[in-house]
Amino acid sequence: MDSRRQNPEVVGTDAAMDFVRYCHRRRRVGWPELYDEMCRVASRGMYHGWGFGELAEHGIAFGLAEMPRLAALVSQVVSQDAERRVRPLVAVMAPAQVRSDAPEEAPELTLRAGAFVGAAR
């Protein structure tokens, strides 16, 4: 069976997802480099002191047979983190509301510390 043709709904435990998130935040790389980072973290017990055995109890296995599931879990966690990073930027870039008693002309906007600020008149 070709695992690339399957599209299983990957649901990891909270601990498994937190482990992947921890490794991804340590080193923002994609698959397979993230796999190397996860192995490094597991071999040194850097995540809650957990090694390969403890991680296996929480759904993280590094064997060849588990590789498609692990890659799918990594993809899911990385895409969720990307969505979370984009949302606040949209709110920061939204234009300020213009008061109804303000003149017809558009307010001036200046860039300060990465955010647009309306100029007071």
> Whole-angstrom distance between the N-terminal and C-terminal Cα of the chain?
68
Residue-level pLDDT at 102: 57
Residues of the chain short of pLDDT 70, as ranges, are 1-12, 83-121
Residue-level pLDDT at 65: 92
Q: What's the token pair of residue 99?
A: 């008061």
| pTM given for the model | 0.60
Residue-level pLDDT at 45: 93
Residues whose CB is less than 8 angstroms from the CB of residue 62 and which lie 6 or more positions away in sequence, other chains included: 35, 38, 39, 42, 52, 55, 70
Residue-level pLDDT at 106: 55
Residue-level pLDDT at 51: 94
- What are phi and psi for residue 111, nearest 5 degrees? -100, 115
Residue-level pLDDT at 79: 83
